[in-house]
Amino acid sequence: MFRIPFAALLAVAALSAPSPAAAQAPVVRVTEGQAQGVAEDGVAVFKGLPYAAPPTGPLRWRPPQAAAGWSGVRDASAYGSDCVQKRAGWDATQSKLPVSEDCLTLNVWAPAKAAKLPVMVWIHGGGFTMGSGSQPLFDGGTLARRGVVVVTFNYRLGRFGFFAHPALTAEGAEALGNYGLMDQVAALQWVKRNIAAFGGNPDKVTIFGESAGGGSVIQHMLMQPSRGLFRAAVSESGGGRDDWPTLAAAEGKGVAFASKAGVKGSDAAAVAQLRALPAKTLAGNLDLLNGEPDTYSGPMIDGKLVTSRPGEGFAAGRQAKVPFLVGANSNELGFIPAIFLGPVTAAAAKQLGDGKDAVVKAYGSKAEYDAHLASDLTFVEPARYLAAQAAGHGQPTWLYSFGYVPTAQRGSQKGAGHATELAFVFGNLGVLAKPATPEDEQAAALIGDYWTAFAKTGDPNGTGRPAWPRYDAKADQRLEISITGAAAPGPAGGPGLDAIRDHFASKK
C-alpha cells in the first residue's frame, strides 16, 4: 500500500486551508451591495468600487448616473480600469492599468476596526487629461495608518470629461460640459452615503488634491452641488487665477473637433454620431504637454455648475467657508530645461500685457524673472491670493510653501518641483527614484502630521512640530518647509509676487 509521508500531509493541509489574510478579508455593505476587500498591515483595502454607472454609449457626455446594484459579494481586491487617456512615457508615476470609458470607480483604505474616523478624499491631478486614483503614488495605506479613512477615485478626462457642442447643449441637460467635475461630485455623494460602513465619519470629510486636483478642490468650494459634502479643503499647487473658457467658446472647439472627425450639424443625428465615435478618436494625443487647443477646451465656465473664475468667486465670498489649507512648491517649474522654460515663461507673460516691464523690474533682474515668473504666476501667487481672499472672509486659512528636496537629489534640484510633495503627503517614499534616507522619512512624517491633523481637527497644528500661523493678509506669513525639511513661518510675499498681485488688482 502506498503511504503518503506525514510531512506531506501537513503540507497539503497548509495549502488547502484558508490563509490568515483570506480568513480576515473584510466585508462591507454599501448601497449597491456587499463587497469584500483585503487586509494589509492593519488596514482594510477596497478597490474598484463603482460610484456611478459606466458613462458609455448613450451615457457618454451625460451627468453620472447611479451605479447598478449587485447580488452576492463583490470582489473588491483589484483596481478598476483607468479612464481613457494617452499614457505619457515621460511620467513614471502613472499607473499601468488598462484604460476604458467604464472607469468610474473608487478605492478605500480604512484602519482595522475604524469607527467614525476623519475621511480624506483625494482628487488626482494631470491637467484634466491624465492620471487616476489608482497610481501607486496614491496608495492610501500609510495615510490610513495615521488614523484616517482615505478615498481615491477616477473621473472622466480629456474630451470624455470636458466637451461641449451645440448639439449636446440642445439636449437641454441640467448641467453641461464639465462631466469630469460632475463625476467628482458623484464620488463625494457616494462617500457621504457609504463611508460610515468603512468606519469613516461622513460629517468629517476633507477633500484634498494637487494641480488639476487642487484646482478641482477650489471649484468644489464654489460649486453649489458640492455644498455639505466636505468640511475642510486642501489645494496643493491648484492655481486660482485660471481663466477657463465660456460654454460658447468650448462649443466652438467642440464643433472644430466634430468637423475634423467628420461630424456635421447640431441635431440629434450629430449627437448620435458623436456618441458613436471610437474612444481612440476622442482621446487623440491629449496629455499634460499637448493640449490640442484648437479642438479641446478643457474645463469651462458652463454657467450652471461652474459660474465664474475661481479668483472672482473667492473675492466675492461665494466659497464654502470651511477650513482651508493652500499652497505651492518652491520651484514648481524648475524641472523644465532652460531651452523650454523660455517659451513657457513667454506664454505666461502674456497675462501681464503692458504690465510686464513693472514685474520684470520687481524681480530685480531678467534672470530672476525668467527663473521664477512661470511658477509664481501659475501657482505661487494665486495660492497667496486665494488665502488672502478666504481669510478676509473670516475663513480659517493656512498657506504653505513646500521646498523639500529628497537627499539624493539636492545636487541637481534647487527646490521642490511640481508634484514632488505627493510622495511625502502620502508617505509613499518607495516611489522616489533613489532610496529614501532617514531625513526624507522625517520630512514625510512632518508633512503627514500636518495634513492628517488638519483632517482630524480643521487645524494643521499640534504638539511636536513647528507652529503654523493662520494666514492673515496683514501679517502675510506662510509655513515654509525648506529644502532640508526645516519648517518655520516666513514671509508669503516678495517684490515679484507683490508686483503680480498688484498687476491683477489694477485690472479689476
Q: Where are the alpha helices (DSSP H) in 195-303?
A: 212-222, 247-260, 268-275, 279-283
Written as nine digits, the cell of 342 is: 523660455
CA angle centred on 157, ends 156 and 161, rounded to 5°:
60
Which whole-number Å values give the CA distances from 202 to 49, 66, 68, 233, 465, in the listed order? 18, 19, 22, 15, 28
Q: Is 432 exposed, middle or buried (0-12, 13-18, 19+ CB in 10 A)?
A: middle
H helix count then E strand count, the chain: 18, 16
All three cell numbers of 310, joined, read 475661481
10 Å Cβ neighbour count for 280? 9
Does residue 211 have an active-site annotation? Answer: yes
Active-site pick, 32, 332, 421, 480:
332
- The CA distance from 188 to 158, in Å, is 21
- For CA atoms 315, 370, 344, 137, give the dihedral sign: negative
**Of 337, 292, 319, 159, nearest in space to 238 by CA:** 319
CA distances from 85 to 58, 138, 159, 295, 387 (A): 20, 18, 10, 16, 33
Catalytic: 332? Answer: yes
Q: Which residues contact 400 (CB under 8 A, 6 or more apart)?
A: 325, 326, 327, 468, 478, 479, 480, 481
Taken in order 484, 485, 486, 489, the sign of the CA dihedral is positive
81, 95, 134, 211: the catalytic one is 211
Do 404 and 417 contact (CB within 8 A), yes or no?
A: no
Among residues 140, 308, 117, the alpha carbon closest in space to that of 208 is found at: 140
State the catalytic residue, choosing from 418, 421, 482, 503: 418
Catalytic annotation, residues = 211, 332, 418
